[in-house]
């Protein structure tokens, strides 16, 4: 892949993170020998501004019946999606008997709020295990990948949608033209598209390079999303910056001319110019910042190892796979990673094979240091971990820079 997935222009690679496994591919020792790796290189397109992986593993390798990410494990995200659903209903969905479609609906964390109000809805969720959790909760869900062909089937069966929603999934899908064309077909003339994903501007400003992993084939910004949707007769009419995932952007989109354009959109476009998201130099600086962050983190972990301090990873997140593999963090440096998700426990982290253990093992014998892989939930985690801190425990964070808290 040497041309832009969106506008077909040549793209400019700016960093390689080296050999990477599947970010959510937690595994058992008998699977170590067959583990899949790809070279994770990232490029930027001068013409449309899209930042993208040069290669991405096949979708079935990442999204299948063993998918390890269950959205409902985070209480703060459940609140976030409840507010999201309320906002959609209060501000955008007015007519009688509305129909809401969400892709990447996972265990139903967002749609449960529509289902509770008996609003017609449909979740599209290809990972069968998480889709089943939603179905068991009474949420109407099909286990398929969304694209243009599926959009046509949905329209035939249910009619057009008042709202098309997505969170942390659009940036996963390489065949974006099929998805956006599907949205155009599916959306009522006055309907609304609202989706949010980690925001390129935040990744650049905070050096939060762990947002880059196999699933995230794109890092979006307002400029690149505008370019993409305009190709399909749709346009952004508002943006709503979010704190989630360390900085996300919610794009509010409709058919061209259907909604008034907000002032906030223009302000965000100007902000992107100021940050320099269209300049090759910005990505050069970002690469150097990543290299520095890696050096600083490894220096700290090696020093703690020499001092015989216990370091345990906190939360076996997808993002941690980029950090551990790019930096080379092995079980010699991090004893285990504590995680509350049963499907990950007893397994080993992708690539570097750090054991993943139940949370009780962290809480029953606190380490001196916890490497906070779930840094984007720092507030929620630190509020829950007062005892760890009272016992003298310290946090290691690496965003926006490596430091001990």
Binding residues for ligand SAM (CB under 6 A): 63, 67, 69, 71, 77, 103-104, 106, 109, 124-127, 130, 145-146, 167-169, 172-173
Structure tokens at 172: 């996963």
The candidate with the shortest Cα–Cα distance to 183, out of 164, 168, 204, 202, is 164
Bridge-based pairing state of the strands 120-124 and 187-198: unpaired
Residues 42, 14 contacting (CB under 8 angstroms): yes
Between 22 and 311, CB nearer to ligand SAM: 22
**Cβ of residue 336: shortest distance to ligand SAM, in angstroms?**
24
Residue closer to ligand SAM, measured from CB, 115 or 396: 115
Rounded CA separation 4/361 (Å): 46
Could you tell me if 364 and 342 are in contact, meaning their C-beta atoms sit under 8 angstroms apart?
A: no
If the CB atoms of residues 148 and 296 are measured against ligand SAM, the closer one turns out to be 148
Closest CA to 326 of 206, 210, 217: 210
CB of 106 to ligand SAM, least distance (A): 4
Question: CB 54 → ligand SAM: shortest distance, Å?
Answer: 19
Q: Which is nearer to ligand SAM, 48 or 109 (CB)?
A: 109
Residue with tokens 């064309």: 181
CB 43 within 8 A of CB 52: yes
Report the C-alpha gap between 181 and 151 in whole angstroms: 9
The residue whose Cβ lies closest to ligand SAM is: 104
Closest contact distance (angstroms) between CB of 220 and ligand SAM is 14
Distances (CA, A) of 230 to 19, 188, 217, 257, 388: 35, 17, 20, 11, 50
Scanning the structure block, which residue is given the tokens 């993002």? 319
Order the strands of the 403-404 sheet from edge to edge. 356-358, 337-339, 311-314, 369-372, 394-397, 403-404
Could you tell me where the DSSP H helices lie in 353-394?
359-364, 378-384, 386-390
Closest approach, Cβ 130 to ligand SAM, in A, equals: 5
Nearest-5° Cα angle at 17, 377 to 336: 50
User: Which residue number, 124 or 304, has a Cβ lying nearer to ligand SAM?
Assistant: 124
Q: How far is the CB of 91 from ligand SAM (least distance, A)?
A: 20
Residue (of 68, 71, 70) closest to 80 by Cα position: 71
Question: What are 99's strand-pairing partners?
Answer: 120
Q: Which of 165, 72, 73, 80 is nearest to 123 (CA)?
A: 165
Give the residue with the Cβ less far from ligand SAM, 24 or 207. Answer: 24
Closest contact distance (angstroms) between CB of 348 and ligand SAM is 21
Which residue, 202 or 272, has its beta carbon nearer to ligand SAM?
A: 202
Q: Judged by CB, which is closer to ligand SAM: 170, or 234? A: 170
Rounded to a whole number of angstroms, the minimum distance from the CB of residue 376 to ligand SAM is 12
Nearer to ligand SAM, 128 or 389 (CB): 128
What is the rounded CA–CA span in Å between residue 37 and residue 325?
11
How near is the Cβ of 314 to ligand SAM at its closest, in Å?
A: 19
């Amino acid at each position: 892949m040497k041309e832009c997935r969106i506008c077909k222009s040549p793209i400019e690679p700016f960093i390689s993170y080296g050999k990477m496994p599947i970010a959510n591919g937690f595994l058992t020792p008998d699977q170590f020998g067959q583990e899949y790796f790809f070279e994770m290189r990232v490029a930027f397109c001068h013409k449309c501004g899209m930042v993208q992986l040069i290669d991405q593993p096949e979708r079935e390798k990442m999204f299948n019946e063993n998918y390890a990410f269950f959205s409902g494990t985070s209480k703060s995200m459940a609140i976030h999606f409840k507010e999201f659903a309320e906002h959609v209903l209060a501000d955008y969905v007015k007519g009688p008997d509305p129909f809401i479609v969400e892709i990447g609906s996972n265990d139903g964390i967002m749609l449960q709020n529509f289902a509770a109000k008996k609003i017609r809805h449909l979740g599209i969720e290809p990972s069968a295990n998480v889709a089943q959790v939603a179905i068991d909760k009474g949420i109407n869900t099909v286990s398929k990948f969304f694209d243009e062909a599926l959009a046509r089937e949905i329209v035939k069966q249910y009619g057009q949608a008042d709202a098309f929603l997505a969170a942390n999934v659009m940036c996963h899908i390489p065949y974006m033209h099929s998805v956006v064309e599907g949205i155009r077909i599916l959306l009522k003339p006055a309907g609304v598209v609202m989706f949010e994903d980690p925001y390129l501007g935040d990744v650049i400003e905070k050096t939060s390079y762990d947002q880059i992993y196999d699933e995230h084939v794109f890092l979006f910004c307002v400029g690149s999303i505008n370019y993409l949707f305009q190709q399909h007769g749709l346009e952004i009419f508002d943006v709503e910056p979010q704190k989630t995932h360390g900085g996300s952007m919610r794009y509010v989109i409709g058919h061209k001319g259907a909604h008034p354009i907000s002032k906030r959109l223009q302000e965000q476009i100007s902000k992107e110019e100021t940050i320099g998201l269209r300049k090759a130099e910005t990505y050069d600086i970002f690469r150097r910042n990543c290299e520095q962050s890696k050096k600083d983190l490894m220096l700290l972990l090696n020093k703690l190892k020499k001092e015989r301090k216990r370091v345990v990873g906190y939360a076996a997140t997808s993002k941690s796979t980029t950090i551990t593999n790019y930096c080379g963090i092995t079980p010699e440096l991090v004893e285990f990673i504590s995680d509350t998700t049963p499907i990950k426990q007893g397994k080993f982290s992708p690539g570097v094979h750090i054991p993943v253990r139940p949370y009780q093992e962290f809480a029953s014998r606190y380490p001196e240091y916890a490497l906070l892989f779930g840094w984007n939930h720092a507030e929620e985690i630190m509020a829950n971990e007062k005892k760890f801190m009272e016992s003298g425990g310290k946090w290691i964070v690496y965003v926006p820079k490596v430091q001990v808290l």
